[in-house]
Amino acid sequence: MNPDLAAIVAFAAIAFVIFGLGVLLVGRQRNDPHGASPLFFGRMTHAFAGMLPLHFEKVENLKSDLLRAGYYRRHAAAEYLAIRNVLVVGTILLTGMAIVALEPESPLAFPTIITGIVATVILFSVPRLILQSQAANRLRQIQYALPDALDMLTMTMTGGVPLSQALGYVQREIKPTYPDLACELAIIDRHAQAGSLDQALQQFSKRIDIPDVQSLTALVSQTERLGSNVTQAFQDYSDSVRRGQRQRLEERGNRASVAMILPIVLCLAPPIYIMLLGPALLELRDFAVEGTARDGVLRPDVSGLDTPSQDVAQ
């Protein structure tokens, strides 16, 4: 192998690994929906995002996952696709350069190809799995924080504060404890100021598509249409959300107790059997060893069997 070419490939691989680690570290930081920052690759972001073709429905699903995960930048989907495509295409190019740098009959050629394929598959699929995990975690946090926010809205509106102002007050109060729900309430407040509260909640239910949020949207829409008391509706709904969460936790606990049966049987039963049966087996072994020894109780008596043969011989 040419030493110069090998040095170039090694330098490119190290630089690419450092670049990939930097991208992963920077990409985990969520962006403020109220702020604007330049694109990750500048003007080349959209060009890199289109390097690998993607169906329209998959792009829409990607945008939905980004919204659920809290990435509200305008070009978040393009940046995600650009970073992923650069990593995937860069891995393919590095693998090709490494194969070219190796000798034709080198034993490292086949492992290099396998490593490149595995790395390409990982860089293509793992970022989406991480994004979906972040989205699911954020939805759980919002669902967990929703009853407390509704209680604060109820207390604020009971004091005579309008709903639009109550949203801003509650958003500022819960931001240190529930930053994800505070971000969503800030977005709802801005949408309500630009249009109506009904439209803002409809957009909220599209972004956070969980049953509790959808039921809350339907409840507020029906309350405004019928002219009912919104405060009492919020209080009743927060109680129902808490009951639903308690029931889900109890159901999860019941499933966990059933799922623990197999580990208990496989991991705890053998030590228990050894502890209970081990002393008895050791006693039985000692008794068998001592009994089969000379003059042991289990040793057969052959002295009486030799007498008839001697009499016959005489």
Domain ranges of the chain: 3-138, 141-259
pLDDT tier at 32, thresholds 50, 70, 90: very low
The CATH architecture assigned to 141-259 reads Up-down Bundle (1.20)
pLDDT, tens digit, 9 for 90 and up, residues 137-195: 998 888 888 888 888 888 888 877 777 788 888 888 888 888 888 888 888 888 888 87
Q: Compute CA distances 296 → 280, 283, 289, 304, whole Å.
A: 20, 16, 9, 16
Residues of the chain with pLDDT > 70, as a percent, come to 78
Least confident of 102-106, 149-153, 244-248: 102-106
Query: Which pLDDT does position 219 carry in this prediction?
Result: 79
Residues 273-291 have pLDDT tens digits of 888 888 888 888 887 777 7
Question: By the 8 A CB rule, do 112 and 20 touch?
Answer: no
- What does the alpha-carbon distance between residue 219 and residue 213 come to, in Å, rounded to a whole number? 10
Mean pLDDT for the chain overall = 77
The answer to whether the CB of 237 falls within 8 A of the CB of 219 is yes
Identify the residue with better confidence: 44 or 177.
Answer: 177
| Residue 35 banded pLDDT, cuts 50, 70, 90 | very low
**DSSP conformational letter for 268:** I
At residue 36, φ and ψ (nearest 5 deg) are -125, 140
pLDDT at residue number 299:
66
pLDDT digits (tens, 9 = 90+) for 252-274: 888 887 888 888 778 887 888 88
